[in-house]
Amino acid sequence: MVKIVDLFAGIGGIRLGFEMEFNNLECVFSSEIDKHAVITYKTNFECANINGDITKIQESDIPDHDILLAGFPCQPFSQAGKKKGFLDDRGTLFFDIKRILAKKKPKVFLLENVKQLKGHDQGKTLTTILNHLKEIGYTNTQYSVLRARDFGIPQNRERIYIVGFLDDDIDFSFPQALNITTCVENILEDMVESKYTLSDKLWAGHQRRKINNKKNGKGFGYGLFNGQSLYTNTLSARYYKDGSEILIEQEAENPRKLTPREAARLQGFPDSFVIPVSDTQAYKQFGNSVCIPVIQAIAKNIQIVGF
């Protein structure tokens, strides 16, 4: 049995991707601080005894495990945030991962974050992270930026993945693009309630802001897509606010937002994944989660090398 721990677990996207690939997986420890995400996690995973704030948990209290999974908070490095990095309290949560790795020494780990981590502070932040990992024995560590749309999902989502092995002789490589043609139609529901259609006021506001932003050289504004679009913009945790980054065209009507189920599909979650929370929380949760097929592809390559 392969034992994993799931840190900053969210709704369990990384865990789910590994469970889809490994048939002998046991999650021995999960940690998530958001109470709404915990509801979704517990609804979808058996024996999900979720611990809270990882900063208050001693590394000695975490069970021994083979694989550590962690999608640590991305806001300190995100283009949508203030990009403060380690100057942001959330940025220092990486060091909670480090202390657990140093104490428990799992055979392999997978860390996930926004693409901007790679270039943050001219690359110094990522170099600092890699150096800290080397300090505790993970010299066989590599990273790559992978895109959701290269793995059969119609979303232009780019994330950085860091994989490290305790064994220096492990020859791991990141998965290559699958060259699967995608289109937005694949994730759309057949019947959608009218509540997801933008009001005249909200749609007018979106159009006005896009014109003003273009005039001011900002380049930001709503993103409009239809079933034939090859992929959408990146789904973010702020999608619940106005849905501007991904709007779906409708004939003879204002555009509409994605439904929560469509947001789930846009991250590769199966329709069997239960959404037990409000639309607002669902949008936040899927926007903060990971693209499941990308995780599964990484898990497959980890399993292939026989860590």
pTM of the predicted protein model: 0.92
Same domain? For 227 and 137 the reply is no
Same domain? For 61 and 129 the reply is yes
Same domain? For 35 and 121 the reply is yes
84-90 long-range Cβ contacts below 8 angstroms, 24+ apart? 85/120, 85/121, 85/125, 86/125, 86/128
pLDDT at residue 84 tops 60: no
Q: Across all residues in the chain, what is the average pLDDT? A: 91
**pLDDT value at residue 75:** 55
DSSP state of 186: G
Q: Which of 27, 47, 74, 291 is catalytic?
A: 74
What's the domain count of the chain? Answer: 2
**pLDDT value at residue 78:** 47
Look up the domain containing 189 and give its range.
184-270
- Confidence class for position 116, pLDDT limits 50, 70, 90: confident
Same domain? For 17 and 144 the reply is yes
Catalytic site includes residue 291:
no
Tokens of 103: 């104490």
The C-alpha atoms of residue 125 and residue 31 are separated, in whole angstroms, by 24
Report which of 206, 278, 264 is spatially closest to residue 235, judged by C-alpha positions.
264
For residue 45, tell me if it sits in a domain: yes
Q: What is the mean pLDDT of residues 83-107?
A: 76
Same domain? For 140 and 10 the reply is yes
